[in-house]
Structure 1
Amino acid sequence: MINKKLELATLGGGCFWCTEAVFQEVKGVEKVESGYSGGNVPGHPTYREICSGLTGHAEVILITFDVDVISYEDILVIFMTTHDPTTLNKQGGDVGTQYRSVIYFHDENQKKIAEAVVKKVAAYYDNPIVTEISPLATFYKAEDYHQDYYRNNKEQGYCSFVITPKLAKLRKLYGDRLK
């Protein structure tokens, strides 16, 4: 058995179905779970509660990755270039605080890397980056039907019109980094 050096990254880039689908294709990513974080109400939130925008949670993914294959910095560069980090509380047609661009860091080293990556990629955007960088408090796993959503629903309209183009962009920019 090979010992892997696994770390976690928690990211929100709009709808978690999109970010989950992107990172499921990246080499070194062992697991991606859709969920919620950053809220201000107690207890495990439901999708319906999140969609109200009243809980303060963001739709996020929890990525388990092998640092011997892909670095946290590379994870963040892919993240920052496969969604629009310049739109506040909005990704395409998805609007609300639950769709904010956010990096939840797990430790101070991740915070420093996140700040450096945001600064580095800012030069590639015409508008200022609004991605929030905050400490991870709690990750709540989303309901089972949200897990592997794109893989299980490729023919669904949202998947065809929103996620498939994101994956095409990922393949164009990072073809050498994919499984």
Structure 2
Amino acid sequence: MEKIGFGGGCHWCTEGVFQALRGVVQVDQGFLQSEPPWDAWAEGVIVTFDPAIIQPGILAEVHLRTHSASGTYSPEGRYRSAVYVFDDEQHDEAARTIAQFASDTGEPARTAVLAFVGFRGSEERYRNYYQTDPSRPFCRRYIDPKLAYIRQHFADLALP
């Protein structure tokens, strides 16, 4: 098993996206930190996955296509579009995936590849947000469209 981190928008959405993929064993929702100047805590997830089923580059592509990877937003610095890597190989694969995404979309991707430094879990009541009640208005409005995108564009990796 390997781990990789993702940040971008609300961690409830990010958590729900990765929980919907084959090969993902666990998704820990919370706040991630990197090296300065990216050392402020930002919402995100740590994904534990089986690289024999799903590669880090595919996880990065799913991430890029299910959040605003080319927009600009960061309420109070809480949201950071990033891939938090645990080694040089993940760094290189994430950087290639981001460059390909930018080429495909014709827009510069603002998603950074950052070294993973720290993680703080969310409060228990927020964990597994989508799985505990997918009928919440937030889930229906923001997470369901992302899951529909995965089922359409990554059907071979989408859980039933």
For residues 78-129 of structure 1, the C-alpha deviation after alignment (integer angstroms, 9 at most, x for no partner) is: 1111112001235xxxx44212211111111111111111111112224311
Contact 2:34 2:115 in 1 (8 A): no
Letter of the structure 2 residue corresponding to residue 11 of structure 1: F
Contact 2:34 2:114 in 1 (8 A): no
SS at match of 1:104: strand
SS at match of 2:104: coil
Structure showing greater radius of gyration is 1
Match among 6, 11, 31 for residue 11 of structure 1: 6
CA–CA separation in structure 1 for the residues paired with 2:100 and 2:57:
11
Contact 1:89 1:101 in 2 (8 A): no
**TM-score with structure 1 length normalisation?**
0.81
CA–CA separation in structure 1 for the residues paired with 2:50 and 2:131:
22
CA–CA separation in structure 2 for the residues paired with 1:60 and 1:19:
7
In structure 1, the gaps of 5 or more residues are 1-5, 41-54
Classify 1:88/1:38 alpha carbon distance in 2 versus 1 (closer, same or farther; 3 Å): farther
CA–CA separation in structure 1 for the residues paired with 2:73 and 2:78:
7
Identity %: 29
Q: Which residue does 2:49 correspond to in 1?
A: 65
**TM-score with structure 2 length normalisation?**
0.90
Q: Which residue does 1:47 correspond to in 2?
A: none
Are 2:102 and 1:116 aligned?
no
Give 4+ residue runs of structure 1 displaced > 3 Å after superposition. Answer: none
The offset of 1:37, in angstroms, is 1.1
The offset of 1:8, in angstroms, is 0.1
SS at match of 2:91: helix
Are 2:139 and 1:164 aligned?
no
Are 2:124 and 1:144 aligned?
yes
For residues 151-172 of structure 1, the C-alpha deviation after alignment (integer angstroms, 9 at most, x for no partner) is: 1122222111111111111111
Q: How do 1:3-152 and structure 2 match up within 5 A?
A: 6-38=1-33, 56-90=40-74, 95-152=75-132
In structure 2, the gaps of 5 or more residues are none
For residues 125-147 of structure 1, the C-alpha deviation after alignment (integer angstroms, 9 at most, x for no partner) is: 24311112111110111111121
